[in-house]
Amino acid sequence: MKRIKLKVLGISYSQSQSGAYALVMMEENGPRRIPIIIGGFEAQSIVIKLENLQPPRPLTHDLFKSFADAFNIELAEVFIHKLEDGIFYAQLVCYRNDEEIIIDSRTSDAVALALRFDCPIYTTEEIMEKAGITVSQTSEASAETSGATQTDKIEETSMFEGYTDEELYRMIDEAIKTEDYERAATIRDELEKRKRRKA
């Protein structure tokens, strides 16, 4: 069975399901993308790791990482191995004292953990053929220029243009305190954009 290595491209609001998000995975050496619908909590957990935000309290996936480290369990890889009725199924391939342990997982949780353990994510060629979307070079370039796939995030960024940098830093602190990490990441993007303009 041919396996395809994936990486996380980004998170966007789901156009098809209210309150859900699309996790977009891309094959490492190719143009295909896989959108996976996930819940808000998992999206938040993935975003704070992608944006390198520090929550005031450990989230569930951070706790899992600390727990695994304490008991010398290594997450070696995540394998998205099945797609059935539009639902992706994943496995965590773990090692403890050279013993391999495979644990079933929701794909969203598996990806959140893969980011924390810095381990590879794989899927099958069959799943890529079923669910993969091929993106042209032109649209890929424009997506990278606009900040990956987070189009809704970009629109929200413009809401903060009327605030001073000091106000935005205070707003980030407030967002982190209330554990609204997506808002914190969006405000941070606005500040980064301003830095690039001044440079």
Greatest extent of the chain over all pairs of C-alpha atoms, in Å: 56
179: containing domain: 150-199
Three-class secondary structure of residue 24 per DSSP: strand
Same domain, 48 and 119: yes
Count up the domains in the chain and report the number. Answer: 2
Give me the tens of pLDDT residue by residue for the chain, a chain 199 residues long.
789 999 998 888 766 566 788 898 999 988 899 889 898 889 999 999 998 888 888 899 999 999 999 999 999 999 999 999 889 999 999 999 999 999 999 999 999 999 999 999 999 999 999 888 886 543 444 444 344 444 344 344 446 767 888 888 888 878 777 767 667 777 877 787 888 888 7
143 lies in some domain: no
Q: Report pLDDT for 159.
A: 64
Same domain, 54 and 91: yes
Q: Report pLDDT for 152.
A: 44
Residue ending a domain, among 136, 161, 188, is: 136
144 lies in some domain: no
Same domain, 27 and 113: yes
71 lies in some domain: yes
Label residue 40 exposed, middle or buried (CB < 10 Å: 0-12, 13-18, 19+): exposed
Q: Report pLDDT for 120.
A: 98
Q: What is the pTM of this model?
A: 0.71
Angle at 180 between CA 176 and CA 182, to 5 degrees: 105
Q: Integer distance in angstroms from the first to the last C-alpha of the chain?
A: 49
Phi-psi region at 98: left, alpha or beta (left = phi > 0; alpha = psi -120 to 50): left
Residue ending a domain, among 136, 165, 182, is: 136
* Cα–Cα separations (whole angstroms), residue 186 to 20, 63, 183: 18, 25, 5
Q: Report pLDDT for 136.
A: 57
Same domain, 104 and 199: no
Report the CATH number that the domain containing residue 61 is assigned in CATH.
3.10.690.10
Same domain, 122 and 158: no
Contacts of 69 (CB under 8 A, 6+ apart): none
Task: Tell me which residue of 124, 113, 46, 129 sits closest to 77, measured CA to CA.
Answer: 113
DSSP 97-152: TTEEEEEEEEHHHHHHHHHHHT--EEEEHHHHHHH-EE--HHHHHHHHHTTTT-HH
16 lies in some domain: yes
Strands, DSSP E only, in the chain?
Answer: 3-13, 21-27, 32-38, 74-84, 87-96, 99-106, 121-124, 133-134
